[in-house]
Structure 1
Amino acid sequence: MQHNLKTYWHELEKRYAGDEVVYRRLDLEQETGIRMAILNPGRTWAILIEVLPEDVGALTPPRWRGMGFKIIPLVGPELAAKHVCLYVENPEHRPVFATLSSDVIRILESSDRTTRVKNLQNCFNRWSRFFEIWGPDGMSLDRQRGLFGELMVLEILLRTGLSPLDGVSSWKGSSGAYQDFVHLGAAIEVKTTISKEPRKVSVSSEKQLDDTDLESLALVVLTLNEVESGGISLPNAVATIRQLLENDGKAGSIFESSLIEAGYLDYDADKYSKHYTIRSREIFDIRSGFPRIVSVPPGVGDLRYTVTISVCKPFEKTVGEMIREFTGKGSK
């Protein structure tokens, strides 16, 4: 369900007369345990989430710069219930807070009573990680291109082999896994580059190209051109995936959570204005003999190295082969 949260807050501001708190139910037609609120002082935007007293101790306050967390009493359907109050401390952070609030509401609307608190805590943790990793200026150019590449591959998987739910569930790059996509024992790692020849890609650890315990591991290298007009932007790529998932609410919800994990907020979309065309798409079979480092001596860590694409040609395979191996459909 979509809600215009800013409209709700603006309506409450008109009713505010210096009260300690003025609030309304999120859905006036039914009780959801979620309320929109304005707090004193300063017409502070907030959302209130009803929880039982015994569940309060199970919640760890989130670490959100510019945002606050407290437990307040409020009369609700459950007479003994408490309300988690999330509020924005600085008006300049309201756009991010609106995005955050929408995510919290989306998670709670798909939760039943038995999973409500657990899912709420998971949401808190995801946003805590977001603010720890990503600064106010959004993602770096390298990270933008990396996410762009992952979404290009996700689109291929959704269009040619996997169901919406399996497709978004296989996307692991947003959560910091070793490979970007994992499904049924197969994995795909995605790299993007805008460099000229000799083209190289950076590998961030000895685990990234390690196919131990995997039935197959493919490396997808997308060589991009930055263009002034035409092409595809990162927000365009996000919109395409959303369209492919529009008929599967669960898959769409997982995708939205993964976008946040990846550092993408719609609020920052205007910062991601670069457009790309794909100059080449190359797929390599990661197996014995491929140029890589998969083991290091004890005491060695934080390994990073580069692989020159031209020496990988003997390991090249088709997109069809990659899809068959990754989806488990058809013969290799």
Structure 2
Amino acid sequence: MSESYPWQGLGFDEARRVDKRGQHDFFWAVVENDNVALALALPDGAERILPLPKIKSLDIRYRKLGSRDALLVALRDPEQVDLFASLCKDIVSAGEQGETPSDALDRAVRRTLRWHHLLRGGSSERLSVEEQRGLLGELQVLQLLCAEIGAEAAIEAWRGPEDGAKDFELHGMCMEVKARRGAARPQVQISSADQLADVTGADVFLLVYDVDAAIKPEGMTLSDHVQVVEDIFQSTTLAAYGTWERLLAAAGFDWAHDYSDRRWTIGRRMTFLVEEGFPRISSPVPMGVINVKYSVSLDACSPFIATDDLLLSEIQKTQSYNSK
């Protein structure tokens, strides 16, 4: 059997165990249309309640493998077979860490989701320094929301990666997030009129984080910071985890990229309530004006400083609404 092509010698509707000494029943298989596949055979009576992701390049479903029920991950696009072989080995590696068949199934599905970005042709360029800083700021707010209102509600509120008007949108409040060097001039860049615009029925907050480069052993790499949030969503629902993976990819982060050359520390957070009199360009802007970008002095924002208690109280109110 070829290490790079583990389906060698298999014909239609045939399967071969991945590892005879493995804890769980993973198989290389060839299925309909001669598509190569990975299967995880499930024990008799196992409940197949775990929802499955939908990925363009793959066919992911439950089906029979011989007389047993199995999770099947089949490749639709034969041109991606090398990448798919790597995906399958990664799924097996993750699944084998599960203590029970149900745990192995959960880990296998979650690891498949992690590969979604690569299978759809993820970006080959890593994030710039400023893009890294910006993502780190948004991740701080995401962690805050996870702690206050739960991971499911938090990830649904994250709109920045998919070009939302505000970075975070909840019922009754919106948050725009900025990250800056702690020693830089006290100002932040506003890249559109919408970012600080009023929202009917909602309070708008501006959260500004000091995010600074650090020298080893201080700080953590971008990948380390992302892993902290990844761990939160690994223990939540599959739907929330899938949304997290989709938005992380939309933000431009790719696990395959090497971010080990730069470490980051997160400093203080300044919170402002954006209301009448706040220094901003009014929205909508006059007809014919496009691509509005401007800087806001943080010193001029000082009359609008909001306390942590106010911010957390407003976040909690959104949870109260969602529970009704």
Query: For the superposition of Structure 1 and Structure 2, which TM-score range results when normalised by the shorter chain?
Result: 0.5 to 0.7
Which residue of the other structure, out of 224, 228, 231, is the alignment partner of 1:243? 231
Partner in structure 2 of residue 166 of structure 1: 153
CA distance in 2, matches of 1:210, 1:167: 22
Conservation of the 8 A alpha-carbon contact between 1:226 and 1:274? yes
Structure 2 runs not aligned, ≥5 long: 20-26, 40-54, 59-64, 67-73, 92-104
Give the C-alpha shift of residue 225 in structure 1.
1.9
Displacement of 1:241: 1.4
In structure 2, how many angstroms separate the alpha carbons of the residues matched to 1:285 and 1:253?
32
Rounded to whole Å, the distance in 1 between the matches of 2:199 and 2:162 is 20
- Aligned pairs, number: 269
Q: Distance in 2 between matches of 1:198 and 1:145?
A: 16
Q: Which amino acid aligns with 1:271?
A: Y
Name the TM-score, length of structure 1 as normaliser: 0.64
Provide, for residues 263-297 of structure 1, a one-character-per-residue CA deviation record: whole Å limited to 9, x for no partner: 112111x2354222223210110111111112311
Cα distance in 1 for partners of 2:288, 2:85 equals: 41
- Paired AA for residue 244 in structure 1: I
Q: Write the letter of the residue equivalent to 1:274.
A: R
SS of structure 2 residue aligned to 1:225? strand
TM-score normalised by structure 2 residue count = 0.66
Picking from 135, 140, 148, the partner of 1:152 is: 140
Q: Is the 8 A contact 1:192 1:223 kept in 2?
A: yes
Compared CA separation, residues 37 and 150, structure 1 to 2 (3 A): farther
- Against the structure 1 CA distance between its residues 36 and 151, is the aligned structure 2 distance closer, same or farther, given a 3 Å change threshold? farther
The percentage of aligned residue pairs carrying the same residue is 23
5 Å-filtered alignment, 1:153-232, equals: 153-159=141-147, 161-194=148-181, 196-229=183-216, 230-232=218-220
The one-letter amino acid of 2:300's match is: V
Distance 1:234 1:96, change over 3 A: farther
Equivalent-residue separation in structure 2 for 1:259 and 1:25 (angstroms): 35
Aligned residues of 1:22 and 1:37 also touching (Cα < 8 A): yes
Q: CA deviation at 1:24?
A: 5.1
CA RMSD after TM alignment: 4.5
Distance 2:310 2:2 in 1: 54
Alignment CA distance shift 1:195-1:243 (3 Å): closer
Pairing partner for 1:290 from 272, 278, 284: 278
Q: 1 CA distance for matches of 2:6 and 2:230?
A: 35
Which ranges of structure 1 fall in alignment gaps of 5 or more residues? 1-8, 29-33, 39-44, 50-60, 63-67, 70-75, 78-82, 111-122
What amino acid does structure 2 have at the position aligned with 1:302? Answer: N
Q: Distance in 1 between matches of 2:187 and 2:3?
A: 54
**Aligned residue in 2 for 1:85:** 76
Q: Distance in 1 between matches of 2:221 and 2:183?
A: 21
Residue 301 in structure 1 maps to residue 276 in structure 2: no
1:223-246 deviation line (CA, Å, top 9, x unaligned): 122111221322122221122233
